[in-house]
Amino acid sequence: MVLKQPKKTPKNLAICVCGLTASGKSTVARKVAEKYNLRLYSGGDALKTLAQEAGYTPTERGWWESKEGLKFLSRRLDDPEFDKKVDTKLLEVAKEGNVVLDSWTMPWLLNGGFKVWIDASKKTRIKRLAKRDNINIKKASQVLEEKEEKTKTIYKRLYGFHLGEDFSPFDLILDTDKLNADEVFQAVSLVIDHVLLRKPQTNQ
């Protein structure tokens, strides 16, 4: 775990949760939002809405890794307006505060906020993706490679940052290779409680 001390406790929380495919970031974001009674806004869900408006059918579990999801990803490479529209909305939501942002871009685009990187090795993420989408390891590896290559290219072209390589925006970096989902959530919550919210520790 790597942690940077925030300068002061925020009055209107904006927590960004980020991590590569199958790292567990969306699960953490959802649980954090539920625990602290914050709104949850997902960049991926917002992009799915735009995909649906463009004629795609993003309904199945693991749609982003499906043939159609990867096709939409290629379209985003050619048309940056999809991502720009979502990121503009995310920034508006972040300014309102009291929100958890499940996003690949906000750690770099948002000034302020508490930013969490959920880390996991490629090997671990391939295994998680295969289990989640009920596909074999070879297929999971191929899909993950294609998705991440295109996604990284999109954000490098649009904003100039290197997703999964530049960790400078993050206040907390948590290695989850040896942790289950509950343990990851507990670790993030502990940091939020005692570092971000400055809650006093109690003797158990």
Question: What CATH number has the domain bearing residue 162?
Answer: 3.40.50.300
Q: What is the pLDDT of residues 143-183, one digit of tens each?
A: 999 999 999 999 999 999 999 999 999 999 999 999 999 99
Mean pLDDT of the 110-126 span:
97
Cα→Cα distances 162→133, 157, 204, Å: 27, 10, 42
Under a CB-based contact definition with an 8 Å cutoff, are residues 192 and 36 in contact? yes
Q: What is the pLDDT of residue 3?
A: 57
Region of residue 116 (phi > 0: left; psi between -120 and 50: alpha; otherwise: beta): beta
Q: What is the value of pTM for the model shown?
A: 0.90
Question: Burial level of 90, CB count in 10 A (0-12/13-18/19+)?
Answer: buried
Q: What is the pLDDT of residue 15?
A: 97
Query: Quick one: which of 104, 96, 101 has its CA closest to 32?
Result: 101
Region of residue 104 (phi > 0: left; psi between -120 and 50: alpha; otherwise: beta): alpha
Residue 200 — very low, low, confident or very high, per pLDDT cuts 50/70/90?
Answer: low
Under a CB-based contact definition with an 8 Å cutoff, are residues 58 and 48 in contact? yes
Q: Which two tokens stand for residue 127?
A: 């295994």
What residues make up the domain containing 71?
2-196
* pLDDT over 70 percentage in the chain: 92
The 2-3 sheet, strands edge to edge: 2-3, 172-175, 114-119, 14-18, 99-102, 39-42
Q: What is the pLDDT of residue 203?
A: 47
Q: Which two tokens stand for residue 22?
A: 């199958």
Under a CB-based contact definition with an 8 Å cutoff, are residues 183 and 136 in contact? no
Side chain identity, residue 154: I
Residue 203 falls inside a structural domain = no
Mean pLDDT of the 100-106 span:
97
| Domain count of the fold of the chain | 1
Residue 179 falls inside a structural domain = yes
CA distance 157 to 81: 12
Strands (E), the chain: 2-3, 14-18, 39-42, 99-102, 114-119, 172-175
Is the pLDDT assigned to residue 5 strictly greater than 90? no
Residue 204 falls inside a structural domain = no
Residue 146 falls inside a structural domain = yes
Under a CB-based contact definition with an 8 Å cutoff, are residues 13 and 36 in contact? yes
Question: Burial level of 169, CB count in 10 A (0-12/13-18/19+)?
Answer: middle
Question: At what angle are helices 122-133 and 137-159 packed, to 10 degrees?
Answer: 120
Residue 201 falls inside a structural domain = no
